[in-house]
Structures are given as structure tokens and as C-alpha cells.
Amino acid sequence: MSIAPPHVLDFPARAVVGTAAEPGDRPGFVSGSRSPLATAALLPHFKTPAFEGPLDLLLHLIRANEVDIYDIPIVEITGQYLAYMEQMEALDLAVAGEYVVMAATLIEIKSRMLLPQAPPPPGEEEAEDPRAELVARLLEYQQYQGVVETMRGWEELRRLIYFRGALENVDDYMLPVPEGEATAQQLYQALHRLLVEAGVDEKPVTAVVPRRRLSLRMKMAEIARKIAASAPDGLAFESLFTLPYLRYEIVLTFLALLELLRLGRCRAEQKTLHDTIWLIPILEEARNGHHER
Amino acid sequence: MEAALECLLFVSGEPVTLAELARALDRDEIAVEAALRSLQIGLTERGSGLQLLRIAGGWQLATRPEHAEVVGRLLTRGSSKLSRAAMETLAIIAYRQPITAPEIEAVRGVSVGGVLKTLLERRLIQEAGRKATIGRPMLYTTTPDFLHYFGITDLSQLPALEMDAPAPAPVPAELIADGRAPANGAD
């Protein structure tokens, strides 16, 4: 059984090969970028500026030039770094702010290196290398890049094996749902399951809702008929409303009733407060004669 | 007991700890661990398509890597591989956890907001309180899913950080576990 992950490669090779078919991965340099420093004026050609930031780019330049990270030729590296930024701009790519900040840092280090150093006062240590802080950052970043190689190998191996999905025979939904747990799709499925249990089996959840053709006039006629049929006792107000209560039904019935009362087709009586309201029909002849029952 | 053990591992959709197995079987952990090893060897010897792995702090049945192609044709793998940015961020969190976004950014030299969101969504990292500094930034740690994603048992399997050229990657012993002695001999 082969033990080494297939793509643990040394760094310069990685720069050319990269890991395959990974959208986030940098396509890397065109080979030939490993020019010795003597020919560093020949800039590496970048296929795509797919670096993970200025530190990644700097490490690449250092490797491509095969220079010592502890003794970075700051003039050359700064030159190449700036040239890279120009390429990015030439390709109309927005140069991220981080790259600009790093460029400023490099230029600052460069200028400090070019200045003649005053000999340190006796008894004091030599002034710190202006590159020291940058080198420390590069080294720290580089070690994580190394780990990424390892993790990439593990990911590769792990993707070759499959596990059972989470338990299928538990259909309780645990609440609260961990953040990010339920997708819209899952919620839809949960709703669908509820609907199936409620007996709305197999019907598509999206249905055309027909608009009820109910007019005030129709409602008035209906109520007037009911009240007239109740003569001479009258009709209880509540009995106009039937379950299930629908808001538009309630509103329409109430409006129709008000209209009937206004037209004098019936009257409403209530013996005591909160008692049942009785709707009493006013018959045609009685209406004409303004006769009370 | 091995057969019962196999049942437990079969029905479980996630790694089961030794303690959980011992409780279900009503046996002590030493006996259960012996049975696990025995089952592990048994699966290999009978040429099973399954293997028993120690992963993410527990034990779980998995298909053997040589059948990846076949299984892959039946099941479509949902998640894509992690991007480089996600990998780097994850590596930094794994070693430096709990860690805040600004601290990660200081190492990577780029902003990590979007990457963190992706990692949270994939549940490879989790929020773990806030740091008691100005602004009370959120702290992040890796999750058991992180271990599972990389097929390792615990964080101690991560390679030691070296300041110079990184060492070649050791393969997590348990991923190639087949009942024989693990590759690194440490067991």
C-alpha cells in the first residue's frame, strides 16, 4: 500500500504543478521561473495572479529566485513584487489593499537598507536588520503553507472513503437547529412531510387558489333569505357565521348585515348587554306601513 | 460481542466513542477495544469492502479506499474540496485555536471574513466565545467535523510546525488502518 500522499512535492515543483483541479489553487508560474538571481531581471511570467495575498507572492518570489529567506535581496525582490503588481493592474485586476501595504513596507525596508548605517554606539547591540520583522512573518506563514500540503494529502485520502449518512431511522427534528443546519430545501421537505401527514398527500404544494366570487349583493340576498325564513322569532346574530371562520366571510357578512339594517329590511334587538343579538325581519307590508311587530 | 459491535457501528451515522460502545454493550472498555481490534482484523481477513476506522475521537465503519470509484458512481459527493485560502485559514486555526479573525489575518496577510463564513457553514470551525480584548472579537476553534474531514482522530496528529522547510506529510495511521500494525508504529 502506498503511504506517501500522491502530491507531496517539494516547493519549487509545487509552484509549477500545483494541486490538480482545485478552483482556489494558484495555477502557478510557467516553468522557467526558477531563474537564478543573476538573470532576475527576466521576470517570471505569471499565468494568473492567483496568490493568496502578498506574503504568498513574496514567498513565491523568494523560491523562484532561490534566495535565502534570511537574507532576502530586497532590491530585486521589491522590483519583482512591484512588477507583479503592475501586471495585475495591466490585466485590469483590482489590486487588493494588502498588496499595496506590502509594497509600501518593501520600499521602506529597501530605503532603510540603502541608507548608510551609523556604527552602533559602544555598549549597544547592532541595529536590527530592517528585514527582520518581514522575515519573521514570512517564516510563520510558510510553516502553515507546509501544513496545508499535509492536510491536502489527508483530504485526498479521506475523499476515497465513504461513511454511512447520518441516521435515517430517526425522523424527529431536534430543536433548536444548529445554526446553518437547516437549508431552505430541508425546511421545504419538512413542510411537505407535515402536509402529507395532514392528508394533503401528493398534491402539489403550489396550487392555484381560485378567487371566490362573492359579492356584497349576493351576501345580502342570502342573509335576507335566512332572516325572512326565521320569522317571526328572528335569527341569532351568531348563526350567520359558520365555521370555519374566514376573515373575508366575517367582514362580508357584517357589511351585508349593516346594509340590510340601513335599508330597513330587518332590525336588531338585544335584551340586555352581551345578550344574543336577534335579527328580526321587517316584512314588506310592514315596512311600507312603518309597523312594528 | 464482535457481531453486536458490528451492529452498533453499522447503525451509527457518526463516530461512536469507546465509552458509548461500552455502555451499549454493557462491557468494560478494555474488552470492547479488544473486540474492536479483532473486528478490524476480521473485516480485512474476510475481504470486506468495509473497514473499521478510528476517526474524530471515535470508531466508525467506512468503505475501503480501493472501492472509491464504484461508490463514487453511486453517490455524488456533495462537497467540493477546500480552496487554498480555506486550507490555509483552517491550518492556522487548527494550530493556534482559539484564535480571532484579526490574528489569522496577521498571519495570512489578507482578510479572512469570507473564508471564515465558508468554514463555519461547512462546520469545520465553530465560534467559541469572545476574546476579552478591545472589541471582544469572536474566537474560533476547529470542530469534530474538522477531524473527520481530514480523517484524523485528534489534533495531536497534526504535524509539528517547523520554522524551516516543512517535513513531508505523514499519513494518519488510522486512515490506512487495516488491523495490521499502524505505519508509524505508535499504538
What is the full per-residue pLDDT of chain A (293 aa) written as tens digits?
334 333 332 333 333 333 333 344 444 444 344 444 434 444 554 444 578 889 999 999 999 999 999 999 999 999 999 998 888 887 766 677 888 999 999 999 999 888 877 776 666 666 778 899 999 999 999 999 989 999 999 999 999 999 887 655 445 555 555 666 667 777 788 888 888 777 755 555 566 666 666 788 888 888 888 888 887 778 888 888 877 777 888 888 889 989 988 888 888 888 887 888 888 888 766 555 554 44
Mutate to test the interface with A, among B69, B90, B108, B180 (most CBs of A within 10 A): B108
Residue A232 lies in a domain: yes
Q: Which of B62, B83, B108 sits opposite A163 (nearest CB)?
A: B62
pLDDT at A6: 35
Residue B73 lies in a domain: no
Residue A40 lies in a domain: yes
For residue B156, the enclosing domain spans 84-174
pLDDT at B177: 43
> Domain tally for chain B?
2
Query: What are the C-alpha distances in Å from A192 to residues A126, A171, A181, A182, B52?
Result: 75, 14, 18, 15, 37
Chain A partners of B183 at a C-beta cutoff of 8 Å?
A: 3
Do A162 and B80 count as a contact with CB atoms less than 8 A apart? no
Residue B183 lies in a domain: no
Average pLDDT of span B122-127: 94
**Does B128 lie in the same domain as B50?**
no
**Does B92 lie in the same domain as B54?**
no
Question: Whole-angstrom Cα distance, residue B84 to residue B99?
Answer: 19
Do B81 and A161 count as a contact with CB atoms less than 8 A apart? no
Residue B51 lies in a domain: yes
Do A53 and B171 count as a contact with CB atoms less than 8 A apart? no
**Does B157 lie in the same domain as B89?**
yes
Mutate to test the interface with A, among B84, B90, B93, B163 (most CBs of A within 10 A): B84
Chain B partners of A24 at a C-beta cutoff of 8 Å?
A: 82-87
Q: Which of A52, A139, A158 sits opposite B85 (nearest CB)?
A: A52
Q: What is the mean pLDDT of chain B?
A: 86
Query: What are the C-alpha distances in Å from A46 to residues A67, A84, A85, B125?
Result: 19, 8, 11, 33
> A71-85, B67-81, B154-168: which has the minimum mean pLDDT?
B154-168
pLDDT at A39: 41
Residue A21 lies in a domain: yes
pLDDT band with cut points at 50, 70 and 90 for residue B173: very low
CATH number at residue A231: 1.10.10.580
pLDDT at A33: 41
CATH number at residue B31: 1.10.10.10
Do A155 and B82 count as a contact with CB atoms less than 8 A apart? yes
**Does B149 lie in the same domain as B101?**
yes
pLDDT at A250: 86
**Does B152 lie in the same domain as B124?**
yes
Q: SS3 letters for chain A?
A: CCCCCCCCCCHHHHHHHCCCCCCCCCCCECCCCCCCHHHCCCCCCECCCCCCCHHHHHHHHHHHCCCCHHHCCHHHHHHHHHHHHHHHHHCCCCCCHHHHHHHHHHHHHHHHHHCCCCCCCCCCCCCCCCCHHHHHHHHHHHHHHHHHHHHHHHHHHHCCCCECCCCCCCCCCCCCCCCCCCCHHHHHHHHHHHHHHCCCCCCCCCCCCCCCCCCHHHHHHHHHHHHHHCCCCCEEHHHHCCCCCCHHHHHHHHHHHHHHHHCCCEEEEECCCCCCEEEEECCHHHHHHCCCC
Residue A201 lies in a domain: no
Terminus-to-terminus CA distance in chain B, angstroms? 23
**Does B49 lie in the same domain as B89?**
no
For residue A281, the enclosing domain spans 216-289
Chain B partners of A141 at a C-beta cutoff of 8 Å?
A: 107-109
Closest residue of chain A to B162, computed from CA coordinates: A143
Mutate to test the interface with A, among B81, B146, B161, B184 (most CBs of A within 10 A): B81
Residues A238-276 pLDDT 10s:
888 877 777 888 888 889 989 988 888 888 888 887 888
Do B166 and A145 count as a contact with CB atoms less than 8 A apart? yes
Contacts of A40 (CB under 8 A, 6+ apart): A65, A76, A79, A80
Residues written for chain B? 187
Q: How far is B138 from chain A (nearest CA, A)?
A: 16
Highest mean pLDDT among A6-10, B72-76, B131-135: B131-135
**Does B90 lie in the same domain as B59?**
no
pLDDT at A164: 83
Residue B187 lies in a domain: no
Is pLDDT larger for residue B184 or for residue B132? B132
Q: Which of A148, A158, A180 sits opposite B88 (nearest CB)?
A: A148
pLDDT at A21: 38
Residue A271 lies in a domain: yes
CA angle B66, B68, B72 (to 5 degrees): 160
pLDDT at A273: 79
CA angle A160, A164, A165 (to 5 degrees): 110
**Does A17 lie in the same domain as A154?**
yes
**Does B106 lie in the same domain as B148?**
yes
**Does B163 lie in the same domain as B101?**
yes
pLDDT at B42: 94
- The helix or strand, by DSSP H or E, that contains position B62, with its residue range, turns out to be strand B58-63
Residue A65 lies in a domain: yes
> Domain tally for chain A?
2
**Does A146 lie in the same domain as A67?**
yes
pLDDT at A240: 84
**Does A133 lie in the same domain as A35?**
yes
Q: What is the ipTM of this complex?
A: 0.81
- Res B136 pLDDT > 60: yes
Do A25 and B84 count as a contact with CB atoms less than 8 A apart? yes
CA angle A45, A47, A53 (to 5 degrees): 90
Residue B79 lies in a domain: no
